[in-house]
Amino acid sequence: MTRLKRTWGVVVLGLGLWGSTGGVARAGEEDDLQRQIDAQKASVADLERLDELKAVTDEIARLKAWLDEAWGLRAKHEYDQVREVLDRTLKQADLIRAEITVSKLRAQELKREASLKDVKDKIAKTRKTLQETSEKKKALEKAAQ
Would you state the pLDDT for residue 144? 84
Question: Taking the chain (145 residues) in consecutive chunks of 10 residues, what is each chunk's mean pLDDT?
Answer: 49 44 62 95 96 96 97 95 97 97 97 97 97 94 85
* Dist CA 141 CA 69 (whole Å): 84
The predicted model scores a pTM of 0.69
With both helix axes pointing from N to C terminus, report the angle between 79-144 and 29-50 in degrees, rounded to the nearest 10: 10
Would you state the pLDDT for residue 145? 77
